């Protein structure tokens, strides 16, 4: 009888208690590792978004620092083949800016292009994530009479919340929200002294109600180095 008692297994109650304790420990371990994974993914996502915002801003700064307008036109303006401009317009959530710049890179030795470039920055509805706005860059190395059309469009920052521009008028020393070097009612044949850029990108995932889970804000003031129209060959 004693030998039989010593060889018996666990009772049903003991098995239930053991399984319950094991399941509880497993849940605790899973929760800890899952929390660490979410934290790591969140930090990685924020770092990626920060890098994306910085690259987009540095690209815009590079283009703006080489922006220009030119007064070189043929005597008969009816045969003019191109027009330079510097135009900034307000919009929501992203403003738009169209200008000419000397930042074109010749990637083909035999290409018949110069360092001149038509560039635009504006917001566009995202094709990959409906309901969000991307900041895009339009560029054309072939100048024409339409400085805000044509060329290639590339996404420079995804899921933005704000792209705001302001221009420092050298004649009034005031910041203005719009600029137009082609209009007589605007700032005809004039360039701003500085452009103030504010870019806000979503720093994480959006909740179901569309509210932000954090955002990253980038601000800079860009000097316009060529702030006078090019006229060195005009008599």
Residue 233: predicted pLDDT: 61
**Residue (of 154, 129, 131, 150) closest to 141 by Cα position:** 150
pLDDT in tens, 208-225: 344 445 789 999 999 999
- Cα(first)–Cα(last) distance of the chain, in Å? 123
User: What pLDDT sits at residue 3?
Assistant: 54
Digit-by-digit pLDDT tens for the chain (235 residues) are 555 555 566 677 777 888 888 888 888 877 777 777 666 666 677 888 899 999 999 999 999 999 999 987 766 666 667 889 999 999 999 999 999 999 988 777 777 778 899 999 999 999 888 889 999 999 999 888 888 888 999 999 999 999 999 999 999 999 999 999 998 888 988 999 999 999 999 876 554 344 445 789 999 999 999 988 887 765 5
Of 210, 216, 179, which Cα lies nearest the Cα of 194?
Answer: 179
- 191-230 burial by CB neighbour count: b if 16+ within 10 A, else e? bbebbebebbbbbbeeeeeeeeeebbebeeebebebeebe
3-class SS at 77?
helix
72 near 84, Cβ under 8 Å? Answer: no
Q: What digits encode the pLDDT tens for the residues 46-78? A: 888 899 999 999 999 999 999 999 987 766 666
DSSP string covering 1-42, please?
A: -HHHHHH----HHHHHHHHHHHHHHHHHHHHHHHHHHHHHHH
Cβ-based neighbours of 82, under 8 Å, separated by 6 or more = 143, 144, 145
Q: Are 227 and 217 in contact (CB under 8 A)?
A: no
pLDDT of residue 207: 45
Listed by start position, the domains of the chain span 52-223
Gap between the Cα atoms of 213 and 45, Å rounded: 12
């Amino acid at each position: 009888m004693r030998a039989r008692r010593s060889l018996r297994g666990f009772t049903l109650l003991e098995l239930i208690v053991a399984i319950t304790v094991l399941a509880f420990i497993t849940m605790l371990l899973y929760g800890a590792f899952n929390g660490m994974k979410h934290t790591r993914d969140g930090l990685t996502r924020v770092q990626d978004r920060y890098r994306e915002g910085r690259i987009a801003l540095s690209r815009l700064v590079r283009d703006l620092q080489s922006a220009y307008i030119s007064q070189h036109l043929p005597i008969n303006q009816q045969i003019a083949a191109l027009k330079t401009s510097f135009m900034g317009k307000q919009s929501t959530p992203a403003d738009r800016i169209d200008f000419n710049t000397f930042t074109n890179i010749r990637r083909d030795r035999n290409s018949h292009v110069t360092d001149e470039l038509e560039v635009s920055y504006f917001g566009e509805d995202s094709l990959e994530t409906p309901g969000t706005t991307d900041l895009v860059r339009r560029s054309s190395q072939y100048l024409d009479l339409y400085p805000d059309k044509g060329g290639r469009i590339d996404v420079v920052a995804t899921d933005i919340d704000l792209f705001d521009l302001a221009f420092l008028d050298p004649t009034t020393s005031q910041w203005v929200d719009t600029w137009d070097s082609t209009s007589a009612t605007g700032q005809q044949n004039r360039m701003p002294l500085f452009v103030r850029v504010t870019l806000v990108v979503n720093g994480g995932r959006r909740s179901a109600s569309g509210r932000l889970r954090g955002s990253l804000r980038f601000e800079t003031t860009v000097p316009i180095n060529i702030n006078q129209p090019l006229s060195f060959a005009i008599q």
